[in-house]
Structures are given as structure tokens and as C-alpha cells.
Amino acid sequence: KKLKRDNNIDADISQVIVSVGAIEGLAAAVMACIDPGDEVILPSPTYSTHVNQVVLASGKPVFVPTIEEQGFVLDIEAIKKAVTPKTKAIMYCSPSNPTGAVFSEEQLRQIAEIALEHDLMVITDEAYEYFTYDGHRHFSIGSIPEMQKNVVSCFTFTKTYAMTGWRIGYLHAHDEVIPQINKAHIPFAICTPVISQYAALGALKGPQDCVKNFREKYLRARNLMCERLNKLSHIFEYQKP
């Protein structure tokens, strides 16, 4: 229900794996999608653990810089040029850790076109999906019907409900991909702790006021930090996340 309501992803329960945080789901997805020597395109700066996951799977990370002066948006042309016969996946985090950039629907549809043209998998880390500001809106590439077989969408309860220590997340993928991910997920974790699963259900079914409160709290913290950084503009520049 959440995937349909918030991400516009039509999902059956058989297409969802409950993971030990989004991180374990992402690691299992990478293991499932690439073979040793395969290349994975990562828009950079990127979350360092994603790099480690590719290396763990004996893959080769290929870094494509984002456009800093435009707020770390994707460089679509550079991504196109980075695709080689060895490329098997594109992996990104949006809203981004560490830059805070929110990749637009327009750009992610362009990523989808690249993926479909070259038959690439797209592995997404959507941990910060509810924390968007200044008119930016989160878009799940998994909502594009044509991309159903080419996307693994990974989510977490950690950021949304401040459940860091509970270590619970989930992913969605096509019926043909799920069994391959399970081949890595089961050796990694067997299953997510049952107590964490009950806690996550409580978070999903309970009042959602906390999500709005967290979002507003983080906005106040961001604005305060930017206010202070603006006073140091004679020393350095920064992009407002």
C-alpha cells in the first residue's frame, strides 16, 4: 500500500523483500545484478558504502561527476558516455547522500531511457524519500511501467521513523529478479529480526505526524546551518541541500 500511495509503484507482496536496513537490501541487489568484472555507474559524490558494495561483488565502480554548480544534478550526457559493453547497472541515491540533491523526474526518466537502451539494471537508494524541500519532489524510477524488469528500488524505516538501531528496510523488484536477490539476501541475513518487523508495522500503521515533525525539524536545522555558512561566504562556497 505504501509503495502505491507514496511511490506510484504497483507491487505484489511476492515482489518485496524485507531487509536488514536498506544497506543489506542494496548489497544483495548488487550481488544479484552484476558478475565479476562488470561495471556499475555511480553519480558522484556518492555514498561510500555503495562503492564498497560494488567492490564486494567484484564489480568495477565507474564514477560520473554530478554538476556541482547546478546543485549536484545528474550529468546525463556524461552518463551516456560512461556506458560500455561491460556496464551492467546504474546505482544512485536520491535524495542524495551526501549532497542532498534531489534528482528530478525529468532526469530520472532520461536515466530510464539509457537503462532500457542498453538493458541495464537501475539500483536505487531512496532512504531520504520524505525529506525534500524548496519545491523539490521525490520521484521513484520504479514507477515507470517500462522499467519494471530493470529496477531494484530500496527503502528504509531508519530515516523516516528514526528507527536507526532497528535495522529494517525493504526492496521492490520484478518477479524475475527477486529470486536472484534472495540468493544473496538469505546468506547475508536469513531474515530481518521479527521484533523489528513488528516495530516497522507499527510505524506504518500508526499516526504519521512524526514524519512531518522530523521533516520540519531537519528543515530548521538546515536553514540554521546555511545561515551560518552564508556568513563565511568570503572563505568558501557551498550548494544549499
pLDDT tens digits for 134-153? 999 999 999 999 999 999 99
Give pLDDT, residue 1.
92
Q: Which helix (H) or strand (E) holds 210?
A: helix 209-230
Q: What's the mean pLDDT when you consider all of the chain?
A: 97
Strand pairing class (16-19; 169-172): antiparallel
For residue 56, the model assigns a pLDDT of: 98
Query: Phi and psi dihedrals of 232, rounded to 5?
Result: -110, 20
CATH of 2-207, one of 3.40.50.720, 3.30.365.10, 3.10.129.10, 3.40.640.10: 3.40.640.10
Q: What is the pLDDT of residues 85-124, one digit of tens each?
A: 999 999 999 999 999 999 999 999 999 999 999 999 999 9
- Residue with C-alpha cell 560494488? 54
- 132's grid cell: 525534500
Could you report the per-residue pLDDT of 35-84, keeping only the tens digit for each? 999 999 999 999 999 999 999 999 999 999 999 999 999 999 999 999 99
Tell which residue, 185, 240, 218, 203, has the closest CA to residue 28. 185
Strand ranges inside 86-215, DSSP E: 87-93, 121-125, 151-156, 169-172
What's the rounded Cα separation, in Å, for the pair 58 and 31? 9
CA separation, residue 115 to residues 19, 47, 172, 228 (Å):
25, 21, 17, 41
Confidence label for 28 from pLDDT (cuts 50, 70 and 90) = very high
Q: Looking at residue 128, what is its pLDDT?
A: 98
10-14: average pLDDT: 96
Grid cell, residue 161, equals 521513523
What is the C-alpha separation between 183 and 190, in angstroms, rounded? 10
Provide the CB-side half-sphere exposure for 204 (13 A, CA): 16
The identity of residue 121, as a single letter, is: M
Domain boundaries, the chain: 2-207
> What's the whole-model pTM score?
0.96
Categorise residue 227: left if φ over 0, alpha if ψ from -120 to 50, beta otherwise: alpha
